[in-house]
Amino acid sequence: MSETERKQQPIGIFDSGIGGLTVAHAITELLPHEQILYFGDTAHLPYGDKSTAAIQAYAVKICDLLVKQKCKVILIACNSASTAAFDLVREYVGSKAKALNVIEPVIAYVGENFPDKNIGLIGTKQTVNSNVYRKKIDDLNRNITLNSVATPLLAAMIEEGFFNNNISESIIQAYLSEPALQNIAALILGCTHYPLIKYQIDNYYKGQVAIVDASQIVAQHVKDYLESQDLAAEALTKDHTFYVSDFTRSFEASTRIFFGREVQLKHYPLWE
């Protein structure tokens, strides 16, 4: 493969559904020359309530497709899958692609910006119960205290289109009023669906708490990686492709909200 061909390989991104499109969108904004190959595992949504073993099995199947399509990077744009399957994915794809996740760039950001502070985290049960954020933040040795609360209704609520309305307001308020999420300097949005309710969360805290949105941070991390390896694409020569493992029209409509523009989904079942 020539050097130009290597640079023009797509970036593979996957999530349990359409949440990872918040990250994919940030990447297309920051890196407009990159072709995206997105996989939403809508047949198995939500990942947040699944066992680690199940998420690992889905992730391996998805990586088979992304490797076959010659992705130079495979980004797990889902916190639940990043906690359950990142080490396995990295080993599985080996030298065929660079495996990245949405957690490590956020940990580095928090370490730099919030030493000696109390920080909150909200995410799925899988993400919070795995304790991955806590372990990685403790490893930084920056005297950061992390208070985590599982907020399992939020991703489902957003998928159903409930954001910026009274129902989402009440659910967000019920979760954020947990004592563990008071007196914090920053709140990590530990689920790629949550950027869609970022403004409601910001309103709840009256702008007094920094809201850590992974999408921008991860997009910058991908850019830094590509540039450091001289792997950044020089021009967008092929369309982005969006696969889902289970197709519904309503999903196609929601993808527009997550991605911020028209998207056509292709049906690709993981198991025939």
One residue of 8, 16, 56, 147 binding ligand DGL per CB under 6 A: 16
**Farthest CA pair distance, the chain:** 56
**Pick 134 or 142: Cβ nearer ligand DGL:** 134
Contact present, 49 and 126 (Cβ < 8 Å): yes
The answer to whether 79 contacts ligand DGL (rule: CB under 6 A) is: yes
**63 counts as catalytic:** no
The answer to whether 191 contacts ligand DGL (rule: CB under 6 A) is: yes
Query: Which residues contact residue 159 at a Cβ distance below 8 angstroms, ignoring those fewer than 6 apart?
Result: 17, 18, 19, 45, 46, 193, 254
The answer to whether 8 contacts ligand DGL (rule: CB under 6 A) is: no
Nearest distance in Å: CB 123, ligand DGL: 6
The answer to whether 106 contacts ligand DGL (rule: CB under 6 A) is: no
**Pick 6 or 134: Cβ nearer ligand DGL:** 134
Bridge partner list, 187: 120, 211
Tokens of residue 131, six digits: 């304790």
Contacts made by residues 166-173, CB under 8 angstroms, sequence distance 24+: 168/197, 168/200, 169/200, 172/197, 172/200, 172/201, 172/204, 173/204
**Pick 54 or 236: Cβ nearer ligand DGL:** 54
One residue of 8, 35, 42, 80 binding ligand DGL per CB under 6 A: 80
Using DSSP's 3-state secondary structure scheme, residue 158 falls into helix
- Catalytic positions, please? 78, 191
User: Which residues lie near ligand DGL (CB under 6 A)?
Assistant: 15-17, 19, 45-48, 78-80, 124, 127, 155, 191-193
